[in-house]
Structure 1
Amino acid sequence: MSHDLLTRRKLLKGLGAAALCSPFISQQAWAVDHRPLFIDGLSFLPKDINDVKASKLSAFIADISDIEAIKQADGTTNYKRSYNACIKSIKAAKAIVDANPDVYLQGQSGLDISRAFDSKRTAVFFQIQGADCVENDSSQTNWQQLEEFKQQGLRVLQLTHHYGNRFAGGALDNNGKTGLNLPLTPAGHELIEALNHRHMLIDVSHSSPKTALDTAKASKSPIVQSHGAARSIVNHARCSPDEVIRAIADTGGVFGIFMMSFWLTNRPVPTINDYIKQIDHVVRIAGVDSVAIANDYPLRGQENLLKLNNDNAEGVKEYLDWWHSLRAKNVLGFDVEPKHVVIPELNTIERMSRIDDALKKARFKSSDRDRIMGGNWQRVLNQVLI
């Protein structure tokens, strides 16, 4: 680690540690209220509003985007978050949140986590999985579309989804051999500056390793990977090398471990222990302040697997056509046939409590569990969303 990065990391972590005392929710407040601080790094607004309370979440980041299916030249399909689709979807999401003020508090700043906690509501922070939605703003000083999204409540922007765009390289970009490791583009550097200026959180999930490293270096604020897994455990293009995890931590950011089990373990039967191993790996290489919980499924769980009573052998079939199309392109990791989709113990609306219990059984101390289950997300959202 360079001296500049070390200094930067200590400064950002120091600010976060100081802020955890006040005005953030303190551990004393949690103890008095008997409610844990649970924050999910990526899910979706549920169809059933009762799921929000049942999840016991203090806050979550919600992907509110909509997509257009775009056929690639090689026959595979990419799902583009276009401006037209996403401006409609964010307005629709805002209407849902506004219609349920007893359940939701729309997150504008990080302090809304405390406000939601105090009022026994759930703070929801809007996210879009792909900067494709910012279609016409490059090299403009006003960034009109980005401003419009922010006015509607967008607080987290993911640079790309699987494949690259004019801002960034994607995790699944490929040159027919091992994959392309495309950098952050000049337009991407401009976007990073625009997001920093607007105090919006930058998400490098689905990015190429080079784009993630470039973004960590370019951003003046903490960045995150809202949902992902470690490549050291599963050698796959969608999983992140250790150097990326460390670089995110060096910005003061967090790395969220998600629920997609085929990227958590290659073992034929996934268990909650495989999830804990992912957390433990990130802690060992980047520190306990760098890891958090994510989902990438609905709050209740992966819906098709729930209908199948978590029968992974049957449920994985819906992914195989897509998986095989990328195997044909020789994208890293797709040569290994997936055997499962979910960890059955975690494909439930009670996952946060179960993860917390599993961390306790794995001898994570109480203060570390508090950080992993929500404190790390709270710190970053407070630092960036001001």
Structure 2
Amino acid sequence: MEAPALIARLARMLGGDVGRAEELVQDTWLSALERWPAQGVPDNPGAWLMTTARNRAIDVLRQHQRVAGQHAQWGSELEPQPLPLPDDTEALGDDIGDDLLRLIFVACHPVLGADARVALTLRLLGGLTTDEIARAFLQPEPTIAQRIVRAKRTLASKQVPFEVPRQAALPERLASVLEVVYLVFNEGYAASSGDDWMRPALCEEALRLGRILQQRLPVWPQVHGLLALMELQASRARARVDAEGNPILLPDQDRSRWDHLQVARGQAALRRALELGGASDPYVLQAAIADCHARARRLEDTDWAQMAALYARLAQVNPSPVVELNRAVAVSRAAGAAAAWPLVEALAADGRLREYAPLAAVQGDLLSQLGRSQEAAEAFARAAELTTNVREKALLEAKARQP
């Protein structure tokens, strides 16, 4: 939980050397493992970790004989002083004012390829494992691991400064930042692996970063669009699991448990994005789709035809087999399973989603609606095999056993 803040603080002290910052944070964990069993856990573990990590960074600066040159730049960092609590935000004198966001912009520097920027930031700041990132990218785990290692080396060798980009460089960097924030949110909203259906801490962190971006970059429609999307989706969180943590799918959710204040916040952000001219932005379109759900107090009130049209528009501006799969689901709701089945068959033949559990699950749902029970059971069983989330696997296996 403390790792992102520690890495961000040390990276700022070390001039953006995120690889070295991560190593020092790991050293700090070892120190805690050695001392806390004997001395007891400190009253404020986060502050202890921050102080220890900062002192290790200071030692590194001294060992490299940089103290004289760095003292003016990092003066307050190199002098003993009371530390803020780990969740405090300092006024750091730039356009963002948040170490974690500053580190995201560093990790999304143009010296890295787009995929490397996202993967590195998810690893450093999102708390995601390499396997989870690989699943988000639909790529092999070794590929992602190599990408992260190369990205750290590149940032160190290029001596990328620990700063927020100037206005001219912001659009390119912002696109990667928003992608990172959304992927972190998605991993929290529907965990790709593990024992829990959701990881609420990741959703909250993504929302925190999205809200700060909205405050600091108020004229960018895509920023408002992403925040609207996350707020609208997160509004359903309490209704998505039962008392035992088992998943509750959208058709079965108690919509009175949706957070309608959060819905209102999401709708306000969506309106602002549209006012700023973002009607064709992918995040704004996805937020509009989420709003179709939010405005329907009952499942049967959902405007599925409008949702299918929005997915069709999204597929034009942001072509993706996952978008096409979601469009097929909306079409099935609006026009029936028979109308959607050819779309899903085409995606299966395409091959890009061959190992994607939701494709098999959608096939199962449509086959069940078409009365092809045995084929539906086989599709649900296939989906269960493809997922590594324990709760999702149990749900799919139960569907496979249904007559």
Q: Considering the TM-score relative to the shorter chain, is it more than 0.5?
A: no
Which structure's residues are more often helix, by fraction? 2
TM value normalised by structure 1:
0.29
Q: Which has the higher strand share?
A: 1
TM-score (norm 2): 0.28
Larger radius of gyration: 2
